Structure 1
């Protein structure tokens, strides 16, 4: 698959103006762009979005994922001429995304009241650390801070060590995903009302949304979830087990599934053992049960454990890295990874559009813009700005 497919996405008639930088705003734009929206990425003249320089060593590749399916223009939002360009873009847009510190848009005379005066149908997605209201609204906030405040960091890692990060910017991407979800809901509401609205997505609240029953457990019983490493406390067996040649994940905590695991191990009697006969009993004897299972998995290579788990319908799997993903036939059959023809990187592979829609599937249609302001002539020309006007704006530092 290449990035030259036609736009069949559900949002192909939607235009998005993306003002955000780094992770949360751009990821929201990526999701909308993958679903077919025409995303116009606005960057400051010069270096552009700092995301262009994020990556490992000489391989600055995060930009290539988060900015695919976008057109790039430059505009200096700190000067009136740049602000005016955004107003002109907004007049023909459906959604605007920003993830600046609250109050920044208002300082630039681009707040919701000003933008809705230009385009009452505009949906404004605002992603920030703490939201647009409340005593912490004016504080600077990054994803990691939102993960800590939202309850995620405290429960991640091993119990005898300090809290860990996930290894990905999950707070940012969660807030972006909820921002996208809010934008889609607002588009639907606009069909009834004819009016746009503001979508307020806070990093800490996005994380809070996925913390399951963490708060009710404390309120009802005083229970505070703690770090538990690779295991789920009281949910057994569900863990990572060492094999003769690596590690393997098994989840067999439901009674019937546990019985099938016992059969696969050649120990069917364990399913009726009073220590393991039901969910509560297995949870109470979790450590010894995990040790018993690992004593068995250590005698076998991962491939054999996997074969037995599949044969006995026990949920399980290898812990994948990028190489395993690229080699897996299921990834290939589902086209979960797309190949892009790239002028610098050659055949560049990355995750494909998701989720999959049967009638209006999303797609990766174009590589990320390689230059700041790459589409200035195309986009600003369509707004009616002549070549001379564009040259004057560039000379003045507005684009």
Structure 2
């Protein structure tokens, strides 16, 4: 299919289900990559039935699979695997999130494919990576968040750890996959570019590589100064509720009517303005509080002062006062707030589409925003096997052969 965008012409084969791998290829598709998603003929990606459904299909699917082509293949059959192999050898990037060893069992492992296409880039997302004592264990995003350190620091000190309300571990791993794929593409281009399809002495291609993304390592990569703080000072960062430990003040405060505000007054000049705005001139001019290292020992006192002021304010009044003082502040947004917020609307953060039956639906807009080559939604998540005919024809299969594959249960 003809596409536009910075990744137009890049061919991606997605071998994966649910979140991490499909989110990785989704972002490439949003910026023009030609993504073929292989699904089982028996129901397809399980995410099609996750969370809130419309006419039997997940609303999440409309976002997670947008701009992708769906090809159904029974990977338990040699013929199904052979078709996948043909597509793999035409691909610039393969994205997969099976357990390590599955692709090798199918004859689609990285070493086998790179021997035929040395420019191939394979992004492999798994719970624990492609080696190590845990490589063969199942590892979902929740496990990665736990092992990577995020769950340990999330929540209140007197309660068990909590999770973020989304599958953040999978999504963070997907972003690492995208970054790895882009760096690998850059390296391939400067070392020779795409494989020319020839073999032997005629083979000319840049250097491909494997991008090995472990979910727990992707989460671990976000954990700031956790390691040196423990290694040098013996400090284990603990759960601190809505506060950001060691950076003061940065916390969640409750207003008069029970609303919540996040106030980040941790910059030195910002702290001074914040204290003046809430009427605490004494704290604004306290020399011990002029820098963050002086404020940390008095965190409870500072938080109490801010909370006492917030308790006398409505959300709107507090926002107006603090914004006038140039203090970073926000109420905590629900999706209802987002859909009517002037900033979201000014930034065109929603796209309007419709289902085949005419029902309108808003989708989140594509980010990041690029001035010359913006991403976008060309179509929402496809029907299962919607592109079987076109993809197989592009591989040279005749109509009769395609019909035979269907009847034999290879494409469903």
My pick for the range that moved more, 346-355 or 137-146, is 346-355
Give unpaired runs (5+ residues) of structure 1: 1-5
Count of aligned pairs: 393
Matched, 1:279 2:277: no
Q: What's the RMSD between the two structures over aligned residues?
A: 1.5
TM-score (norm 2): 0.92
1:122 to 107, 120, 123: 120
- Please state whether the residue corresponding to 1:73 is helix, strand or coil: strand
Match of 1:141 in 2: 139
Match of 1:3 in 2: none
Separation in 1, partners of 2:276, 2:44: 59
- Please state whether the residue corresponding to 2:318 is helix, strand or coil: helix
- Please state whether the residue corresponding to 1:303 is helix, strand or coil: helix
Equivalence map 1:228-377=2 (5 Å) = 228-245=240-257, 246-274=259-287, 276-343=289-356, 346-369=359-382, 371-377=383-389
Equivalence map 1:49-198=2 (5 Å) = 49-56=45-52, 60-193=58-191, 194-198=206-210
Separation in 1, partners of 2:245, 2:186: 41
- Please state whether the residue corresponding to 2:270 is helix, strand or coil: helix
Separation in 1, partners of 2:354, 2:145: 36
- After superposition, the Cα gap between the structure-2 partners of 1:345 and 1:61, relative to the gap in structure 1 and judged at 3 Å, is farther
Deviation at 1:274, TM superposition (A): 5.0
Deviation at 1:323, TM superposition (A): 0.6
Separation in 2, partners of 1:296, 1:175: 40
- Please state whether the residue corresponding to 1:91 is helix, strand or coil: helix
Deviation at 1:206, TM superposition (A): 0.5
Matched, 1:383 2:395: yes
Q: Is the 8 A contact 1:270 1:276 kept in 2?
A: yes
Q: Is the 8 A contact 2:13 2:93 kept in 1?
A: yes
Runs of 4+ in 1 over 6 A off after TM superposition: none
Indicate the structure whose relative CO is greater, using CA pairs within 8 Å and at least 6 residues apart.
1
Q: Is the 8 A contact 2:118 2:208 kept in 1?
A: yes
Deviation at 1:356, TM superposition (A): 1.2
Q: Is the 8 A contact 1:55 1:62 kept in 2?
A: yes
Separation in 2, partners of 1:7, 1:314: 44
My pick for the range that moved more, 237-246 or 276-285, is 276-285
Q: Is the 8 A contact 1:237 1:290 kept in 2?
A: yes
Deviation at 1:268, TM superposition (A): 2.5
